[in-house]
Amino acid sequence: MRRPSPIAIVLLATGIPPVAFTIALFVLGSIPDNIAPPLTIAFVLIPMVVFLPLFAFVGFKDVARRTRRQIVRTKTLVFHCPICDAGIPHAGLRELRRARREHIETLHPEFFHHARRINKLAVLYWAGLIFLAITATFWFFVKSYVLSLAGFLAVLPLLYFLNWFFQKQVREFRRRWTEHASAQPLKNTP
C-alpha cells in the first residue's frame, strides 16, 4: 500500500476536527456559551485556517498538473474528443479551442448547447458559493457557531460538485454516443 503523503495527513488532521466537532455539537445539542468560543477556535477556526489554504493549494496544484499534461498532449497536435474519442488534428494551443468547439458544435450539438447552459449556470453557482462563504464568516462573528460551521462544511463538497456534475454529463453523453454509434455501424464518420 502506498504511504499517504504528508499533505494528505495534514489535510486529514485539520479536516476531521471540524467535522467531529459539528457531529459532537449535534449529538450533545449545545455546549455552554462560556466554553463555546474557545472550543470553536481550537476545533474549527485553527484547523480551518490550515485546512482551507492547503486544500486550495492542493486543488491548484492538481489543476496545474492537469493543464501541463494537456499542454504535453496538445504538442502532439491531436485532441481526443471526450464524447466520441475521435482524434481532432490542430495546429497548436490557439487552434485547439476553435477545433474543439467546431467539432463539438457540429458532431455533438446537444452536448454543445448543454455545456453552454451549464457554463452560464456555473457563474451563478460560484457567486452563490462565495455568498455562502461570506455568510458563514458573518455567522461566526455574530456567534451563530453551528450555522457558521454548517455553512463552511457545505462549501467544501460544493466546491467539487460542479466539476463532478459536469464529468457525469460528459459520461452520459459519451454513453449515448457509443450506443448510437453501435446501433448505426455504417454511419460512424461524417
Contacts with Zn ion by CB under 5 A lie at: 81, 83-84, 86, 107
At residue 41, what is the residue type? I
Please say which residue, 84 or 149, places its beta carbon nearer to Zn ion. Answer: 84
Instruction: Work out the widest C-alpha separation in the chain, in whole angstroms.
Output: 75
Please say which residue, 33 or 179, places its beta carbon nearer to Zn ion. Answer: 179
> Cβ(77)–Cβ(167) under 8 Å?
no
CB of 177 to Zn ion, least distance (A): 7
CB of 85 to Zn ion, least distance (A): 7
Please say which residue, 108 or 140, places its beta carbon nearer to Zn ion. Answer: 108
CB of 141 to Zn ion, least distance (A): 50
Please say which residue, 38 or 109, places its beta carbon nearer to Zn ion. Answer: 109
Of 93, 65, 64, give the one whose Cα is nearest residue 77.
Answer: 93
Of 155, 152, 160, 158, give the one whose Cα is nearest residue 136.
Answer: 152
Please say which residue, 21 or 111, places its beta carbon nearer to Zn ion. Answer: 111
CB of 103 to Zn ion, least distance (A): 6
Residue nearest to Zn ion (CB): 81
Strands 78-80 and 87-89: antiparallel
Of 108, 115, 88, give the one whose Cα is nearest residue 178.
Answer: 108
> Cβ(114)–Cβ(123) under 8 Å?
no
> Cβ(48)–Cβ(18) under 8 Å?
yes
CB of 173 to Zn ion, least distance (A): 9
Of 190, 178, 148, give the one whose Cα is nearest residue 48.
Answer: 148
